[in-house]
Amino acid sequence: MDERIEKIMKAAEYMRSRIGNRKPSVGIVLGSGLGKLADRIEDPITVPYREIPGFPVSTAIGHKGNFIFGRLGGKDVLAMQGRFHYYEGYPMELVTLPIRVMKVLGIGCLFVSNAAGGVNFDFKVGDLMVIRDHINLLPNPLVGRNLDEFGPRFPDMTRPYDPKLIEKAETVAAELGITLKKGVYLAGTGPSYETPSEYRYFRMIGADAVGMSTIPEVIVARHSSIPVFGMSVITNEAHDDYAEDYENNGDDVVAAADAAADRMSLLFARLIESL
């Protein structure tokens, strides 16, 4: 057996030993400072990543490092309370391992979230941006031998974020009185924040928000034909006209994400309920 498949299956088997025969219908990835959604999960079963065979440990600020299984919006869900990043030194195989495990466990769709800098001048700190498309400046996680058991060599990425889920999210947000932005998310390697000239460049090539995650997970999900809904919380204004003494700060990003997490959590819960 391909050693990558073996690693995926061992991790999935361990998760089954913890959650029993129940099958999560939705997988959720919670980004920096966005772990609050996990508090909404009912009857939670918490599985630290360090206990799962073959799993790395999340080292990023604002990432607790747990799988949480339980009920949200009347559905069985499996949430990642913290993700893995390429900048932590992990290869893409490990960055995306949890998504493969979720696929084996039976998820029917994937919700991803992140904290992002708003390069769009119309975006303000605390805005929620539905991701309608992305620009990938990270290594593609599908490079190497294809995992035929999961999907084709050349998966289509015409609609990486599911139009029907986006439409439902807009309906739910309107009912809740939550204002949404829509835009293109760009991911770079990090871990350094971008320069003002890079922010200007990203805006010129069509990005609305910039971060260091999410896209590898989306590519792997789409490789397996899993519908994806994505959301960025705008945690800083990633512009190129800063004051002389301005600097980006990781703690400030997490604090801004935490402040917006309640609205995002409510929206995710209601959207899952509507599925």
Binding-site residue ranges for phosphate:
32, 63, 83-85, 115, 213
Extract the annotated binding site for a purine D-ribonucleoside. 194, 236
Structure-token pair, residue 31? 């980004």
Q: Which residues contact 192 (CB under 8 A, 6 or more apart)?
A: none
Query: CA–CA separation, 115 vs 260, rounded Å?
Result: 10
The contacts of residue 249 (CB under 8 Å, 6+ apart) are none
**Interatomic CA distance for residues 56 and 63, integer angstroms:** 13
What is the SS3 assignment for 17? helix
Q: Phi and psi (nearest 5°) for 176? A: -90, -5
Q: Enter the tokens of residue 266.
A: 């409510």
Q: How many CB atoms lie within 10 A of CB 216?
A: 23
Query: Cβ atoms within 10 A of the Cβ of 2, count?
Result: 11
Cβ–Cβ < 8 Å for 30, 260 = no
- Specify whether the CB–CB gap between 165 and 271 falls below 8 A: yes
Q: Are 204 and 197 in contact (CB under 8 A)?
A: no
Within the chain, how many helices (H) and strands (E) appear?
A: 7, 9
Q: Which residues are annotated as a binding site?
A: 32, 63, 83-85, 115, 194, 213, 236
